[in-house]
Amino acid sequence: MNHPFSARDGLDSAERRQAARSSTLVSVAVNLLLSTLQIIAGAWSHSSALIADGVHSLSDLVADFVVLLAGRHSGKGPDSDHQYGHQRYENGASLALGLLLLAVGAGMLYSAAAKFLHPEQIPAVHSLALWIAALALLAKETLFRYMLAVARRVRSSLLVANAWHARSDAASSLVVAAGVAGNLLGYPILDPVAALVVGLLVGKMGLRFAWDALHDLMDRAADENDVAAIRDTLLSTPGIAGIHDLRTRKMGDQILVDVHLEVDGRINVYQAHAITEDAQRRVLQRHPVLDVMTHIDPAGLPHHGGMPAAH
């Protein structure tokens, strides 16, 4: 059932789009500067690990543009082709982010593995590589904390994914710094080892994002805590004697709810309708729910499974 209470999501969506845009533009500026600095310094100082980290930072720029594109489209309202809205653009963008990370990780692994075939050809790195790796570590960790705070404030899983992408960058920069330091101490093999570890970290993160996004696109239910909270809100509504067949599915960062509501069978249709409208209003006001589809049942009537009918 589409109803006027869904309009509250417009303000939330506008706030989330603005948060996505501002935080992502900050990320673009940081990653553009870092990737340029890391690749140039890595090539000059002969550090494959620093170059790999620079390529990783460069992939973040692509990821940031994916986030901006998704933020622009996910805020669109329902239309004839997308009658529930466009929130799943966020899920699609998260899937694209995951696949991008997988591809970047695989490329890093291939490049690092090639170094092990001829370890005697691994050059000593210049100390500049260590300073650049340390600078990148500080910048990426700061960026992660900023982006995660924004993502939590606006409850956006896409922004959370992008924030943790930044944290994976910080972890990779830490590994790179250790590899470069080892090379400087006389263990040149540690530089490609660091590049190999970076590739594994990136690939693992990409697999997780892609897997989660794929499940959301396949109508995965909301988590147990959200479902329990929605159930409690419905049951606390005056006039609701019970509920059954409560089902949920993700729609971007919002939830679609289907439920059978049990009311006193002796009241008239108008009274029953008012009770369900009150229940819907409460759920929409208290939870990240996009819409509530209800079916009215007389309390005490035996019920069976099946698809809820819209009321």
Range in 79-83, 98-102, 159-163, 274-278 the model is least confident about: 79-83
CATH number of the domain residue 294 falls in: 3.30.70.1350
Range in 36-45, 82-91, 180-189, 213-222 the model is least confident about: 82-91
Per the domain annotation, does 14 fall within a domain?
Answer: yes
* Residue that wins the pLDDT comparison between 259 and 166: 259
Same domain, 73 and 199: yes
Same domain, 68 and 199: yes
> What tokens were used for 300?
């005490």
Place 283 in a pLDDT band, splitting at 50, 70 and 90. very high
Predicted local confidence at residue 75, as pLDDT: 61
Q: Is 158 helix (H, G, I), strand (E, B) or coil?
A: helix
Give the position of tokens 């980290």: 53
Per the domain annotation, does 308 fall within a domain?
Answer: no
**Model confidence pLDDT, tens digit, residues 11-50:** 456 666 777 778 778 888 888 888 889 889 888 988 878 8
Per the domain annotation, does 305 fall within a domain?
Answer: no
Q: Of 223, 238, 278, 234, whose CA–CA distance to 260 is shortest?
A: 234
* Residue that wins the pLDDT comparison between 301 and 200: 200
Same domain, 17 and 74: yes
Q: Domain ends where: 217, 240, 271?
A: 217
Task: Give burial (CB, 10 Å; 0-12/13-18/19+) of 55.
Answer: buried
Per the domain annotation, does 111 fall within a domain?
Answer: yes
Tell me the β-bridge partners of 29.
Answer: none
User: CA 194, CA 108: separation in Å to the nearest integer?
Assistant: 10
Same domain, 10 and 97: yes
Same domain, 178 and 62: yes
What is the rounded average pLDDT for all residues in the chain?
79
Average pLDDT in the 291-304 region?
A: 78
Please say if the pLDDT value at position 219 is more than 80: no
Same domain, 42 and 183: yes
Give 38-104 as a 3 state SS string: HHHHHHHHCCHHHHHHHHHHHHHHHHHHHHHHHHHHHCCCCCCCCCCCCCHHHHHHHHHHHHHHHHH
Q: Which domain holds residue 18?
A: 4-217
Same domain, 43 and 157: yes
Place 82 in a pLDDT band, splitting at 50, 70 and 90. low
Per the domain annotation, does 210 fall within a domain?
Answer: yes
Same domain, 63 and 8: yes
* Residue that wins the pLDDT comparison between 120 and 260: 260
Average pLDDT in the 73-91 region?
A: 66
Same domain, 209 and 240: no
CATH number of the domain residue 107 falls in: 1.20.1510.10
Task: Give burial (CB, 10 Å; 0-12/13-18/19+) of 300.
Answer: exposed
Q: Which H or E run contains 222?
A: none
Position 249, amino acid: R
Average pLDDT in the 216-240 region?
A: 88
Per the domain annotation, does 200 fall within a domain?
Answer: yes
- First and final C-alpha spacing in the chain: 6
Place 5 in a pLDDT band, splitting at 50, 70 and 90. very low
Same domain, 16 and 75: yes
Query: What's the structural domain count of the chain?
Result: 2
Predicted local confidence at residue 149, as pLDDT: 86
- Cα dist from 154 to 84, 130, 159, 205, 228, whole Å: 20, 37, 9, 22, 22
Half-sphere exposure of 276 (CA within 13 A, CB side): 27
Same domain, 208 and 243: no
User: CA 191, CA 122: separation in Å to the nearest integer?
Assistant: 8
Per the domain annotation, does 307 fall within a domain?
Answer: no
Q: Which H or E run contains 228?
A: helix 224-235
Q: Of 35, 20, 9, 1, whose CA–CA distance to 68 is shortest?
A: 20
Q: Domain ends where: 192, 217, 242?
A: 217
> What tokens were used for 60?
């973040």
The sheet carrying 254-263 orders its strands as 242-251, 254-263, 289-298
Same domain, 71 and 190: yes
* Residue that wins the pLDDT comparison between 193 and 9: 193
Q: Domain ends where: 217, 246, 266?
A: 217
